[in-house]
Amino acid sequence: MAVIASKCPEITVTVVDINQKRIDAWNDPSLDELPVYEPGLKELVESTRGKNLFFSTDVEKAIDESQMIFISVNTPTKDYGVGEGMAANLKYIEACARTIARVAKDDKIVVEKSTVPVRTAATVKSILEHTGNKVHFQVLSNPEFLAEGTAIDDLLNADRVLIGGEQTPEGQAAIGELTSIYGHWLKPHQILTTNVWSSELSKLAANAFLAQRVSSINAMSELCEATNADVREVARAIGMDSRIGPKFLQASVGFGGSCFQKDILNLVYIARHYGLVEVAEYWEQVIRINNHQRERFARKILTSLFNNVADKKIAFYGWAFKKDTNDTRESSAIYIADFLIRERAEIHVFDPKVSLDQMLSDLNYLNSRPADINAAKLSASNDPYAVAGDSHAIAVMTEWDQFRDLDWPRIHDGMQKPPFIFDGRNLLDRATLQEIGFEYVGIGT
Ligand code: UGA
């Protein structure tokens, strides 16, 4: 919305949320950081806020005054009842649709921006039409393809924007309205229009294909370790085939983030719903490899440290699910910390953007261990040298650039011997670290 506001000065954009604290934070010019850390976002918000970008909790007023409404609520994996652990929980989408239906007094275009299962637009339309004030709604699907950490650039230089709409004159007119917004900064060939169902499914398909690449290279990483191949060399060799391409072939401690796992589970659930067992199992395997990669990494730490980490201090460099974000959802660091705490290790974390409160809430959400045990076993500091001091090992969880530039000889001197580095991102230079005296363990190398 900040990008739209900055590129379309004649359009008024109002972001509404029922969480007063969060809206206050977005409105507060004195805060050093916005609620979401995203490179370039602060500058963009500061240049548009109060001009044509507004943050408010007055949901009804914003609906009443808008011609176009983006539904951008979260659609987490359902954690109860039918479809538990797989299906998307659409209660927030439904609540939005009902509020819009109740409040709207004139025709509106409703845009699904949240990632939703295919055919959700039918639900939204049905609620709008049956509970509304007899006004006309057009429902468009406009899935988001930006990645966190590169969001602004991904939007400004989008590979494509996808807009799905009804194949009727009214549907095409609504597509035209949204196209004209993106047309402020994108060329016509970057804006793709389809029917609603193709658009909804394409979003899930894109994330499934991306995650599948990570799981494929991670599966290769295990084979590399068994055969003395080097996964970085394999990735380079296969990535130079233009049919395969070089991106998203970085072996890692497993993908995280709020999207990949959730969207694949969603896809699997839909496939099962239609009785497509083989299709469901095919995509499910992407998640199984990801879980396996996390567990494999955690076990490697345990076995390398002489099968005993009880009361040993292990330093984590990074907690966020990737660099340049403070988002920790589904980060592999949470799962690996949990495994090691079960083995009674003590985890000390340095992450440039994530608070200890967030880390503890991630752990408490994942396991049923009493919160005070998690709090006793997990600590954090802004000082990477203090975090590593006295530790038996450092585990690199996130590929923050600044980890490369640390004073590694100093870190080495402060650690227990032999000092291990488990580089879950293949971020650091093995030869240099070995020369300093570290036991270096990478992924697939
Ligand atoms: C992902 C998609 O890339 C976006 O296109 C999509 O819009 C977004 O989900 C969404 O559905 O909202 P995001 O989750 O922000 O974006 O981050 P990614 O850059 O895709 O990274 C996901 C995970 O894969 C991270 O943990 C990352 O470290 C890991 N990864 C990525 C690897 O382990 N290896 C790679 O080569 C690439």
Closest Cα to atom 6, ligand 1: which residue? Answer: 145
The residue whose CA has the least distance to atom 28 of ligand 1 is 322
User: Whose CA is closest to 309, among 278, 337, 349?
Assistant: 337
51 vs 370: CA distance, rounded Å:
48
Distance 322 CA to ligand 1 centre (A): 8
CA of residue 216 to ligand 1 center, whole Å = 14
What does the alpha-carbon distance between residue 384 and residue 388 come to, in Å, rounded to a whole number?
Answer: 6
Q: Strand pairing of 346-350 and 378-380? A: parallel
Q: Which two tokens stand for residue 309?
A: 């980490």
Atom of ligand 1 lying closest to residue 145 CA: 7
- Which residue's CA is the nearest one to ligand 1's atom 29? 255
pLDDT tens digits, one per residue of 209-265? 999 999 999 999 999 999 999 999 999 999 999 999 999 999 999 999 999 999 999
pLDDT in tens, 152-190: 999 999 999 999 999 999 999 999 999 999 999 999 999
d(Cα 132, Cα 205) in Å, to the nearest integer? 33
- Per-residue confidence (pLDDT) for residue 254, from 0 to 100: 98
**Cβ count near 303 (within 10 Å):** 10
Contact criterion met (CB below 8 Å) for 338 and 373: no
Could you tell me the distance, in angstroms and rounded to a whole number, from the CA of residue 58 to the centre of ligand 1? Answer: 33
What's phi and psi for 410, nearest 5 deg?
-65, -40
Whether residue 231 contacts residue 217, with contact meaning beta carbons closer than 8 Å, is answered with: yes
Check pLDDT > 90 for residue 378: yes
Which residue owns the Cα nearest ligand 1 atom 34? 250
Distance CA 348, CA 39 (A): 26
DSSP 8-class letter at 88:
B
Find the 345 Cα to ligand 1 centroid distance in Å. Answer: 29
Ligand 1 pocket at CB < 6 A? 115, 144-148, 207, 210, 214, 248-250, 252, 255-257, 259-260, 321-322
- Can you name the residues that pair with 194 across neighbouring β-strands? 164
* 194 CA → ligand 1 middle, Å: 24
Residue nearest to atom 8 of ligand 1 (CA): 147
Question: How many CB atoms are located within 10 Å of the residue 156 CB?
Answer: 15
Amino acid at 112: E
For CA atoms 94, 95, 96, 99, the dihedral sign is positive
Answer for the pair 179, 6: CB distance below 8 angstroms, yes or no: no
Rounded mean pLDDT of 196-221? 97
Is the Cβ–Cβ distance between 173 and 232 less than 8 Å?
Answer: no
Residue 207 CA, closest ligand 1 atom number = 2
Strand-pair partners of 316: 349, 395
Ligand 1, residues 115, 220, 259, 351: which to mutate, most atoms within 8 A of Cβ?
259
- pTM for this model (two decimals): 0.95
Q: Helices in 28-156 by DSSP H: which ranges? A: 41-48, 59-65, 91-103, 120-131, 151-156
Confidence of residue 117 (pLDDT cuts 50, 70, 90): confident
Tell whether the model's pLDDT for residue 134 goes beyond 90. Answer: no
Ligand 1 atom at minimum distance from 257 CA: 14
Listed residue (248, 174, 179) closest to 217, CA to CA: 248
Q: Output the pLDDT for position 33.
A: 87
Is the pLDDT reported for residue 368 higher than 80? no
For residue 167, the tally of other CB atoms under 10 A from its CB is: 11
Closest atom, ligand 1, to C-alpha of 250 = 36
Residue 323 CA, ligand 1 centroid: distance in Å: 11
- Report CA torsion sign: 431, 433, 438, 441: negative
Pocket test of ligand 1: the residue of 36, 38, 148 to mutate, having most ligand atoms within 8 Å of its CB, is: 148
Closest residue to atom 37 of ligand 1, CA basis: 248
- For residue 406, how many other CB atoms are within 10 A of its CB? 16
CB 348 within 8 A of CB 375: no
Question: Are the CB atoms for 414 and 388 separated by under 8 Å?
Answer: yes
Is pLDDT at 308 greater than 80 in this prediction?
Answer: yes
Q: Residue 283 is inside which H or E element, if any?
A: helix 277-304
pLDDT in tens, 401-438: 999 999 999 999 999 999 999 999 999 999 999 999 99
| Protein residue with least CA distance to atom 7, ligand 1 | 145
* Per-residue DSSP letter, 250: -
Q: Which residue numbers are catalytic?
A: 144, 203, 259
Contact 171, 144 (CB under 8 A): no
Q: Among 73, 322, 443, name the best residue to mutate to test ligand 1's pocket (greatest count of ligand atoms within 8 A of Cβ).
A: 322
- CA 444 – ligand 1 centroid, Å: 20
Contact 148, 325 (CB under 8 A): yes
Closest CA to 123 of 185, 177, 197: 197
